[in-house]
Amino acid sequence: MSFFESLRLDGQIALVTGAGRGIGATIARYLAEAGAEVVLLSRTLSELQTVAQQIAEAGGRSSIRQCDVIDSKALRAIIDELPRLDILVNNAGTNIPEPMIEVSDEHLDHLLNLNIRSCFIAAQAAVKKMLQDPDRVKKGGSVIHISSQMGHIGSPNRTVYCATKHAIEGLTKAMAIELAEQNIRVNSVAPTFVDTPLVRQVVNTDEKRAFLFSKIPLGHLAETEDIAAAVAYLASPAARMVTGTCLKVDGGWTAQ
């Protein structure tokens, strides 16, 4: 197999949660470009339709599943009904920056449910679906959690978010060890701040941008394509010996 062939995903089915916009949408487009048939899942139908159209115009294949990942029953049903699954990208998640002493029970529960519980349930259902394939050990499988650099460090006003992403890093390692015999690889990708509309709303002053750039040795925010490229690599045969690890796409933030 040549280097470029090792990056192909032809014949594989990939599910991407939070695929309607931002990082998830770019991940979906990259996986489709690599040859995978991509199942696009998020809450907003119009956004999914836009991504599906972009994939089709580029010659790729995709299908749409409208679902709030917090709805465990619906999420499990969607994954169970798939004909087959080879790749899961657990991308759906959020953050509510605020001082630790001001975190409400509502915000706490929402972040725990979305960033940890729904991630675990999606992974559990996906692995069950993967293991239904009698040739799974031969074919292999890949689960990729979108974590964060905040899963490796602490940061003010992000106590709950940091807690959830540290949990995802632990989940990644434990799953990788447990599923290695079935040849299902489990890894995480940890982005720094990514230049998306959501981040622009938070980083909305020159002072905030200057602070962020001072923390990133490469001196700029990440692009969604940077994260998608990391995911595409981890999903591919090129990463067949990579499991239980985190690929930090953070411009050097956590190396300091």
pLDDT in tens, 54-110: 999 999 999 999 999 999 999 999 999 999 999 999 999 999 999 999 999 999 999
Q: Give mean pLDDT, residues 212-232.
A: 95
Tell me if residue 161 is catalytic.
yes
- pLDDT for 202-217, tens place per residue? 788 888 888 888 999 9
Domain limits for position 190: 5-196+224-246
Which CATH number is 99's domain given? 3.40.50.720
pLDDT band at 245 (very low <50, low <70, confident <90, very high): very high
Would you call 211 exposed, middle or buried from its count of C-beta atoms within 10 A (0-12, 13-18, 19+)? exposed
Quote the number of domains for the chain. Answer: 1
Measured CA to CA, the distance from residue 220 to residue 250 in angstroms comes to 10
pTM: 0.96
The answer to whether position 168 is within a domain reads yes
Question: What is the model's pLDDT at position 208?
Answer: 85
The answer to whether position 208 is within a domain reads no
Question: What is the model's pLDDT at position 197?
Answer: 82
Position 45: which residue type? L
Res 115 pLDDT > 90: yes
Two structure tokens written together for 129: 């679906």
Question: What is the model's pLDDT at position 89?
Answer: 98
The answer to whether position 214 is within a domain reads no
The answer to whether position 146 is within a domain reads yes
Q: Bridge-partner residues for 222, per DSSP?
A: 194
Closest CA to 72 of 39, 123, 16, 121: 121
Question: What is the model's pLDDT at position 219?
Answer: 92
Q: How many CB atoms lie within 10 A of CB 50?
A: 15
Q: What residue has token string 């690890």?
A: 245
Two structure tokens written together for 144: 């990729």
Catalytic residue among 14, 125, 130, 161: 161
Q: Give mean pLDDT, residues 188-215.
A: 88
Question: What is the model's pLDDT at position 203?
Answer: 82
